[in-house]
Amino acid sequence: MRNEGDVNLKKRVLNAVFFVGIFMSFSCGINDLVLGLGILSVVMTFACGVITVGLYAAFRKGVNYERISLIVAIFLSFAFFPAMWFITGGSYRSIPYFIIINAGIIALLLSGWKRKLIVGLYLICIGIIMVIEYRMPGMAADYDSRLTRSIDLSFGLFMCLFSVVVLTAVLIDGYSDELNKSNQYYAVLEERNREIEAKNRMLEKSNEELKKAKEEADKLNKLLNEEKQNLQILSITDDITGTYNRRYIVSYLNNELAASRQKEEKLTVALIDIDNFKTINDKYGHLYGDYVIEKISKTILGNLRQNDIVGRFGGDEFLIILPCTDKEEGHAIMERVRKKILEIKWDKDMVVTISGGVREVKNDELENLLNELDRMLYSAKNKSKNLIECNEIC
């Protein structure tokens, strides 16, 4: 897409060229008429003015700038000035001044390869004309007197100087106007760039704040999830022993009963409690009793398998679930737990033992199973304590 400022500048230059051309044509025609330099010179000069007016009218109606410029350059370079060279006296008169002005007009009107082509051909044309004049000097007209020659040369020089001033002023003023517009556009662009930079900084700040807010939200979510998990763990954990509480261990046992029936897998359950625990509480206090329960629970946990589950069933009672285990293996595990508890060293040479019952589940319902385990627990206590009963001979 062509630059708008460049197009406007070219139009201003072309307007100036037309103005100079029309003014020079009619002025030179009048000058030639007054000085009596020949009717042909007067007619040719006025004809050039008329043609220039016609081209200017076409230009004003919107005819293509490039086409008009090329027509003007070709007409002046290869028709009008070569003819005027011989009509007005060649190099002996004022025509060389206009030849120089025409070269400047070509440079202003044309560009690119067209300028190079027309200027090259124009130089060749002028060279040919000068050779012709040198070889046939009589072809060029002469002045009638020295005064006429002086007036014509002075007028021609004045017109050329005037043309140079007008064209240069238009070119410089047009360039200055376009430069001012460019500076204004640049200033506006700079201001918009500053606004964009300011908005970008605000956006970056907002993004940073959003990022921080997201990080804070993620942290809060993580804390909430951790807190939720902690609350969930607390809701199913006994606070003294660290094992599962009664509600959870009973619910878990009920699910294990259903799963063992569905999968036809073995399942063994044990119920134990601490022998003479009431005596320990009465003699040493409830705080020490809690300490005993806590240590007993850690010993139980430390001697069970990874998949075994233990929970505090009552005050000093523990319900232990042994998945995929028959009664013999279950009894052996609980015997190991009993012996480990018996080996614990307590203050004041106190001895703590446990008693319990181990039952391999058949088709027991939860309530019946718990009742049977409770019965076996009391059977062990009634026999001798420090004993693990089995539902059948193990």
Quick: pLDDT tens for 183-211: 888 888 988 998 898 888 888 888 888 88
pLDDT at 1: 40
Quick: pLDDT tens for 112-136: 888 888 888 888 988 888 888 778 7
Strand partners, 322: 268
Question: pLDDT class for 347, splitting at 50, 70, 90?
Answer: confident
More confident residue, 258 or 176: 258
Q: Residue 247: exposed, middle, or buried by beta-carbon count in 10 A (0-12, 13-18, 19+)?
A: exposed
To the nearest whole number, what is the mean pLDDT of the chain? Answer: 83
Strand ordering across the sheet containing 388-390: 309-312, 317-323, 267-274, 354-360, 388-390
Q: Residue 250: exposed, middle, or buried by beta-carbon count in 10 A (0-12, 13-18, 19+)?
A: middle
Structural domains present in the chain:
4-190 (no CATH), 246-390 (3.30.70.270)
- Residue 316 pLDDT exceeds 80: yes
pLDDT at 342: 93
Q: Count of CB atoms within 10 A of residue 265's CB? A: 13
Question: pLDDT class for 63, splitting at 50, 70, 90?
Answer: low
Please, are residues 366 and 254 in contact by the beta-carbon 8 Å criterion?
yes
Please, are residues 334 and 388 in contact by the beta-carbon 8 Å criterion?
yes
| Least-confidence region, from 72-76, 342-346, 383-387 | 72-76
